[in-house]
Structure 1
Amino acid sequence: MKRVRCPKCDGFITFDETKYKEGQSLIFECPQCGKQFGIRIGATKLRNPQKDEILNENEYNDEFGALIVIENVFHYKQVIPLKFGDNIIGRYMKGSKTNTPIETNDPSIDITHCNINVSRDKKGHLKYTLSDGPSYTGTFVDNEILGNKEKRIIHDGTLFTIGATSIILKAPKEGETTD
């Protein structure tokens, strides 16, 4: 099964690509917004969706670590690389200021739910600071909700929850180079 994203509302349409030949053109009508759009079966010039990019948390190549989004009824497993500085985490929505989006239809995740700041401590080691958005449903670390404006230092393997979604921080091993 393949998914295509509506260019107007970013909704997904799933279809069985095995029923069509390479090079064949298909026309879709988005059930959410009614937009009609076409695709051609075969190679695409666009980047792969996160679902197809990185499925194994040990295969990512990023010097600042990654977030492992655990698969549940709202979405598939995702590995999202982190960048140095603020990583604004939230539900993917076209045009939002979220720079670390999760592709999900979980309504309990805000568009800008929480933030992980990646910095270096005095010894040059990576430091991860988690804070809530503020969000409507809160950000939980070790089953404790983060308070308003509270910041929590998290480490490799820390499990935190936003909405109905659990996420694990995967930090690179100290001294490991990923170039």
Structure 2
Amino acid sequence: MKRVRCPKCDNFITFDETKYKDGQSLVFECTECGKQFGIRIGVSKLKDRPHDEKHDEQANEKGFGSIVVIENVFHYKQVIPLQYGDNSIGRYMKGSAANTPIETNDPSIDMNHCVINVSRDKKGNLKYVLRDGPSYTGTFVDNEILGDRERRIIYDGSLFTIGATSIILRTADSEE
């Protein structure tokens, strides 16, 4: 049995995946909120995308940008490179799932505080989308807290705050 999560309310829907073939599309309707959504069995959106792989090779030469971490009270400045896809930002701790860890003593930063997704728009330009983890203290962009499930497109020089730490986005274009 497989479980899928409703993208609107996080309710789990269980189904028997053995009744379907790889590549087959299924449509579900959430019993809690009524949202209809589709999935494709056995096919990852991250695999078999030569268009993205070509862009990835080009971007690996230039990079995907970085974040500049400025701890307001506690320690020092860090520059952490970003990768294509989800960059899970959080406090460094051995075994943490954060792939973009911040070395900090700031107790108000969760181990998985927020995520910056680096992808390409329809024109092939890099796009940066920020969302909260969810975290206990929240993620602030331009002094506004991101709501649950809210996503915000951020640009070069965008300032966001997690805990008592400020972070500035540096896009790949600005690093040339």
Shorter-normalised TM range: 0.5 to 0.7
Task: Give 1:108's aligned residue.
Answer: 108
Other-structure match for 1:151:
151
Aligned to 1:90: 90
Q: Which residue of structure 2 aligns with residue 169 of structure 1?
A: 169
Distance of 2:69 and 2:62 partners within structure 1: 16
Q: 1:110 to 1:120 in 2, by over 3 A?
A: same
Structure with a larger share of its residues in helix: 2
- 2:119 counterpart residue number: 119
Q: 1:161 to 1:96 in 2, by over 3 A?
A: same
Q: CA deviation at 1:172?
A: 1.9
- CA deviations on 1:41-96 (whole Å, 9 max, x unpaired) are xxxxxxxxxxxxxxxxxxxx851000000143322100000000000000000001
Over aligned residues, Cα RMSD in angstroms? 1.7
Residues matched between the structures, number: 116
Higher alpha-carbon deviation: 156-165 or 70-79: 70-79
Code of the residue aligned with 2:100 in structure 1: it is T
The runs of at least 4 consecutive aligned structure 1 residues that moved more than 4 Å come to none
**Aligned partners of 1:174 and 1:113: how far apart in 2?**
25
Residues 175 and 149 (structure 1), Cα distance of their counterparts in 2 relative to 1, 3 Å cut? same
Structure 1: runs of 5 or more not aligned:
1-60
| TM-score, normalisation: structure 1 | 0.62
Q: Label 1:76 to 1:174 Cα distance change in 2 as closer, same or farther (>3 A).
A: closer
2:12 equivalent in structure 1:
none
Report the AA paired with residue 149 of structure 1.
Answer: R
Quick one: distance in 2 between partners of 1:151 and 1:71?
Answer: 24
CA gap 1:135/1:119 in 2 versus in 1, 3 angstroms: same
Cα deviation code 1:19-57 (max 9, x no counterpart): xxxxxxxxxxxxxxxxxxxxxxxxxxxxxxxxxxxxxxx
State whether structure 2 residue 163 is matched by structure 1 residue 135: no
How many angstroms does 1:175 deviate by?
10
Q: TM-score, normalised by structure 2?
A: 0.63
Asked if structure 2 preserves the Cα contact closer than 8 Å seen for 1:62 and 1:81, the reply is no
**What CA distance in whole angstroms lies between the structure 1 residues aligned with 2:141 and 2:74?**
20
